[in-house]
A and B are shown apart, each in its own frame.
Chain A
Amino acid sequence: DARVTQTPRHKVTEMGQEVTMRCQPILGHNTVFWYRQTMMQGLELLAYFRNRAPLDDSGMPKDRFSAEMPDATLATLKIQPSEPRDSAVYFCASGLDRSYGYTFGSGTRLTVV
């Protein structure tokens, strides 16, 4: 089965450090989402792309978060500088369009100490 690959699966970092999370969408999928999951806030939409162009990143704290798609096989989410409140599981999802639903990766569990 085709799958969305996220790396790393786990990341522990110190406050103030830069964190980069990567996502390899399913080949041929042109839509990529980034979500953050916490106990308190649930699943929050951070940003999404279509055909590598950012459509909406209003869910991201702009001062420290950035999301890019350098090519069709890679999406990145960067936090600089990281803070303890960024600790969460970050999910990437990809798809063709909403008619088909979207496939999620296994997530990156980030802990900022």
Chain B
Amino acid sequence: AQSVTQLGSHVSVSEGALVLLRCNYSSSVPPYLFWYVQYPNQGLQLLLKYTTGATLVKGINGFEAEFKKSETSFHLTKPSAHMSDAAEYFCAVSDRNDMRFGAGTRLTVKP
């Protein structure tokens, strides 16, 4: 069975600082991996995805993530945080047909 673990339910960074949100997965087959962002009272928006090929994937709003099979990780990074990045971020894994989410990480950006 596939599953996702997001380390840290809350992450706080200063504006301009590096953002690092951690995600580890388990899957019985090569996984497809996703990061979604959720702003208050809204649905989830796809930030980026890894399917096959290049292990470093770039997404919207300056975010990127690297798939590391040996570490079963797919951490999300952004070099410089903006106030508008404050939101909840979800990592998800799909190993066949469905998609399962981690518990989410709430990102706070301090001025």
Q: Do A and B bind each other?
A: yes
Give A contacts to B, CB under 8 Å.
Answer: 4, 31, 33, 35, 42-43, 45, 48, 50, 55-56, 91, 93, 98-99, 101-107
Confirm or deny: B71 has a beta carbon within 8 angstroms of a beta carbon on chain A. no
Tell me the complex Cα distance, A98–B95, Å.
9
A48 touches B98 (CB 8 A): yes
Say whether B99 contacts A104, CB under 8 Å: no
Looking at chain B's contact residues, the main secondary structure is strand
B94 at the interface (CB under 8 A from A): yes
Q: How far is the CA of A102 from the CA of B16 in the complex (A)?
A: 30
Partner of B97, one of A4, A42, A56: A56
Expressed in whole angstroms, the Cα–Cα distance for A35 and B102 within the complex equals 13
Chain B positions 71 through 111: 1 when the CB is less than 8 Å from some CB of chain A, otherwise 0 = 00000000000000000001000100111111110000000
Give the A-binding residues of B (Cβ under 8 A).
32, 34, 36, 42-46, 49, 51, 90, 94, 97-104
B57 to chain A, nearest CB (A): 11
A107 to B: closest C-beta gap in Å: 6
Residue of A nearest to B52 (CB): A99
B64 → chain A closest CB, angstroms: 16
Instruction: Name B96's closest neighbour in chain A (CB-CB).
Output: A98
Q: Beyond the given A33-B98, A42-B102, A42-B104, please list 4 additional residue pairs across the A-B interface where CB-CB is below 8 A.
A: A55-B97, A98-B94, A99-B51, A101-B49
Query: Whole-angstrom distance from the CB of A23 to the nearest CB of chain B?
Result: 11
Q: Which residues of B contact A50 (CB under 8 A)?
A: 97
Residues in A whose Cβ lies below 8 Å from that of B100: 45
B46/A101 in contact, CB under 8 A? yes
Tell whether A43 pairs with B32 under 8 Å between CB atoms, given A98-B51, A98-B94, A101-B49: no
